[in-house]
Homo-oligomer: A and B are copies of this chain.
Amino acid sequence: MLERVPAYTDAMLAETGTLSDRVYRHLADRLIAGRFAPGDKLSLRAVSEALGLSIMPVREAVSRLAAEGALEVTPKKAITVPLMRAAQFRDITQVRVEIEGFAAATACRMATPESLAGIEAREREFRDLSEQPQADLAQAVAANQAFHFAVYRAAGSAELLAIIERLWLRAGPIINLDLRENPERLRLGGAVQAHRACLAAIREGRADAAREAIASDIRGASTFILSRQRLLD
């Protein structure tokens, strides 16, 4: 059986906090960005060696990610990116629609000129990237994330933000890996359209419309992915 064991070439770490924190951010970023595929195996020693550390910080980072469901350590002593069944993916999609939709509606009510300007800038960046014929997928993924979190941050709730981050940590490997493998989803423009609608709604203070725009963005990607049937069940 051929197993994906991704390489760790560009092993850059953040420069603040304990080593454990840095490794955690490193792995979390890569998970959200879809740099790991569901089913990928990690090894403490391989990661620590690639990062030039002992295994201790990696151990703690993996342990945290496992607690959040972003990684799994099986009873057979293997660290894997969780495989998600279609039913689970539908579940997480529904929860995301509810929670991220709520965050968007709240952002609509709490928006300040500064946060609105940030959202506008992120919307423009993502739109520009998407409309390029040969879009850099890594950049597009990052820009999409930047737009969403600009909105969610505008809601002004640290609790909500932490919860949404956890959701992205779990959904990232599926969504963004899919986007890497099916870049035409970008060109179809569903996300651009939803972002534009969300931005307009926030500008005009229509909270329900903002919620609906985010919901349709999430549902659109989810439907696309489920139709590809790359998931179990």
Give the contacts of A79-107 with B (CB-CB under 8 A). Answer: 88, 91-92, 94-95, 98-99, 102
Question: How many Å lie between the Cα of A157 and that of B99 in the bound state?
Answer: 13
Stretch at the interface among A61-69, A112-120, A141-149, A193-201: A61-69
Does A125 sit within 8 A of B, measured CB to CB? Answer: no
**B64 with A157: CB separation less than 8 A:** no
Does A2 sit within 8 A of B, measured CB to CB? Answer: no
Task: Please give, as numbers and ranges, the residues of chain B lying within 8 Å of A157 by CB-CB distance.
Answer: 91, 94-95
Task: Please give, as numbers and ranges, the residues of chain B lying within 8 Å of A166 by CB-CB distance.
Answer: 163, 166
Does A15 sit within 8 A of B, measured CB to CB? Answer: no
Does A167 sit within 8 A of B, measured CB to CB? Answer: yes
Decide if the interface of chain A is mainly helix, strand, loop or mixed.
Answer: helix
Does A51 sit within 8 A of B, measured CB to CB? Answer: no
Give the contacts of A184-220 with B (CB-CB under 8 A). Answer: none
Instruction: Output the nearest chain B residue to A88 by Cβ-Cβ distance.
Output: B158
Question: How many Å lie between the Cα of A94 and that of B68 in the bound state?
Answer: 22
- Give the number of copies in the complex: 2
Give the contacts of A36-77 with B (CB-CB under 8 A). Answer: 59-60, 63-64, 66-69
**A159 with B91: CB separation less than 8 A:** yes
**A95 with B163: CB separation less than 8 A:** yes
Query: Within the complex, what minimum Cβ distance (angstroms) separates A17 from chain B?
Result: 9
Question: How many Å lie between the Cα of A148 and that of B97 in the bound state?
Answer: 23
Looking at A60, A67, A99, which has the most chain B CB atoms within 10 Å of its CB? A67
Instruction: Output the nearest chain B residue to A94 by Cβ-Cβ distance.
Output: B157
Task: Please give, as numbers and ranges, the residues of chain B lying within 8 Å of A91 by CB-CB distance.
Answer: 157-159
Tell which of B66, B102, B160, B162 touches A69, judged by Cβ atoms closer than 8 Å.
Answer: B162
Looking at A64, A68, A95, A102, which has the most chain B CB atoms within 10 Å of its CB? A95
Q: List 9 A-B contacts (CB under 8 A).
A: A63-B64, A88-B159, A91-B159, A92-B159, A94-B157, A95-B159, A95-B163, A163-B166, A166-B166
Interface residues of A (CB under 8 A from B): 20, 24, 59-60, 63-64, 66-69, 88, 91-92, 94-95, 98-99, 102, 157-160, 162-163, 166-167, 170
